[in-house]
Structure 1
């Protein structure tokens, strides 16, 4: 089996490059207007693809392993937000109010799919359960994340009204997702033939959204608000959140008597956050001037979770081989 790479992957480097490009050449005027339309279309396409790729059988199979999925989803949507609020006395002095809101937003996001399943496979975990929990997390995240953000974050930043958010979420996220999922029986074979092309479209859509978000943030003076000290503080906070979540979900899985395979699935399914869902949802929920700063903690967390989780997956794999 291929060994995981402990260094940033190509996609992560492209994300960093997109932020640098937006910093040096932010979209303005007519270009920004055109980009806003393209971004809206890219978000709809992204969630259409999410829906089309969601295995319906994974949702059905998950009903038979509800204790594991309840632990994973509870960590994702309950424990993470509690940690975000509990750490507020530490977070505010280090990173300031706006980045703290970005951390809260990170805590309310669904789990990642691709890396959680891949890492579970490398470490020798329960891969079918990982597919199921990750798929369920993505689906629930479209509903739960906006509700949490609308109730706990948006009132403090003066974003669009709850009703406007609900309409935008349905039109830009849920409707394309449902259409894609309903068309899955007819799209499964063509998608399989396209192979990596779909991944390029999927990730390219996210890069486009990131560029638009950071262009607006740069024009709004983001780098005048965020110092290097705040960035280092944000890295430390992301590490703390990631480690606490991993210790909690793995420790509780062990206490509940889960098998080794299920503990590994809980570890990688419950302690990771989705960049693929997080960036588009932020684009819908937050004002354009706040999207860039809202997703900055998520981008750092994404990088750290890949590095640390890859190291853990390799360790667990080697540990299993030696038995």
Structure 2
């Protein structure tokens, strides 16, 4: 079962790589790119409508009551990540260049994932209800906080004109409004979603693949691979891996130091250590309009795949550990 779960992660990783290769040799451009962009935005809106329909009112109420846990996840996601990213500027920017560092910093400003945070928390036998609320809350708040952080710490340090209010409105229309509509229509929609979970998951992953293909097509047309060498890609992968290691250690020990129980520690670890690709690329398209988008989304693509593979291994290990200790009489 563990091997199958890891293979499932690898399958999506392979599909993402295929999208990058396809965009490299057969990029969509011109009028076709405009049409593809409209279709992709419609798919994104439907995706967040489904996210809204998934979240139960009971989970919201139960999750809201656990404010200490959400406060820790929020602090790691929107304070610890950005602070470390900003402190690393003197090291990372000379190595990767300004555009890739912007992408790395943008990744630090993003909210957590939703599906994978909940899934890994469930596998590892953590507090699933809190994970549902915390991950969803992170994404909702991130629609407002991420543009503000980008405005202050990326475009605020450059000569590029940037309107944070306009960007927040665009993100709200594309992501927040469909999410709210999904919540309101949950009684009608959710029963059908339960009957076709495979199709819902395929649509979820398919939308991300569309977004990645569109983003990299534009980047390739703009000359991405003339600007990024394989040595730079390797260096970026190493930096993302080391960065994830530091964040995971903090997400592991901070809830322990604060006295959370085992289930809540697991929830903080998986919700606090990850960054979303599903929300990240659509946000990047809005926030970095006119910028080399491929360079901006490359760090989150690499970080996202590393976090999925590492979290998959850890979740399976903790699940097995929990089962063995439960058989021995508990923790």
| Match 2:179 to one of 177, 180, 190 | 177
Question: Is the counterpart of residue 265 in structure 1 residue 267 in structure 2?
Answer: yes
**Structure 2: segments with no counterpart, 5+ residues:** 326-331
Query: 1:37 matched to which residue of 2?
Result: 38
Q: Aligned with 2:66: secondary structure? A: helix
Question: What CA distance in whole angstroms lies between the structure 1 residues aligned with 2:300 and 2:267?
Answer: 22
* 1:11 and 2:15 are equivalent in the alignment: no
CA distance in 1, matches of 2:176, 2:159: 24
Instruction: Report the counterpart of residue 200 of structure 1 in structure 2.
Output: 202
On the 8 A contact 2:55/2:132 being kept in 1, the answer is: no
CA distance in structure 2 between the aligned counterparts of 1:180 and 1:320, rounded to whole angstroms: 35
**Take 2:159 and 2:278, find their aligned partners in 1: how far apart are those partners?**
23
C-alpha contact 2:107 2:275 (8 A) present in aligned 1: yes
Does the CA-based 8 Å contact 2:208-2:278 persist in structure 1? yes
1:83 match: 84
**SS of equivalent residue, structure 1 residue 275:** coil
Equivalent-residue separation in structure 2 for 1:48 and 1:321 (angstroms)? 36
Alignment CA distance shift 1:166-1:68 (3 Å): closer
| Rounded Cα–Cα distance in structure 2 between residues aligned with 1:82 and 1:4 | 37
Q: Provide the residue aligned with 1:287 in structure 2.
A: 289
* Residues 217 and 289 in structure 1, CA contact (< 8 A), matched pair in contact too: no
Name the structure 2 match of 1:308.
Answer: 310
Confirm or deny: 8 A CA contact 2:147 2:164 kept in the other structure.
Answer: no
- Report which stretch shifted further, 178-187 or 147-156: 147-156
Aligned to 1:123: 124
1:59–1:136: 8 Å Cα contact kept in structure 2? no
1:44-91 CA distance string (max 9 Å, x none):
222222222222322211222111111111101111011111111221
| Number of aligned positions between the proteins | 323
* Alignment TM-score, normalising by the size of structure 2: 0.91
SS in 1 for 2:279: helix
Query: In 2, are the aligned partners of 1:59 and 1:135 still within 8 Å (CA)?
Result: no
Change in 2 beyond 3 A, CA 1:288/1:35: farther
Distance 1:78 1:45, change over 3 A: same
* Larger deviation, residues 85-94 vs 69-78: 85-94
- The aligned counterpart of 1:189 is 191
Please give the alpha-carbon distance, in whole angstroms, between the structure 2 residues aligned to 1:239 and 1:231: 12
**Greater CA deviation, 148-157 or 262-271?**
148-157
Alpha-carbon contact 1:238-1:300 (below 8 Å) kept: yes
Q: How far apart are the structure 2 equivalents of 1:49 and 1:246?
A: 29
Distance 1:63 1:174 in 2: 19
CA contact 1:209–1:283 (8 Å) conserved in 2:
no
Which of 298, 301, 305 does residue 300 from structure 2 map onto?
298
Worse overlay, 78-87 or 109-118: 109-118
Following superposition of structure 1 onto structure 2, how do residues 145-184 of structure 1 map, counting pairs within 5 Å?
A: 145-155=146-156, 156=158, 158=160, 160-184=162-186
Equivalence for 1:25: 26
- Displacement of 1:164 in angstroms is 2.8
CA-CA distance at 1:226 after TM superposition:
0.9
CA RMSD of aligned residues (A): 1.9
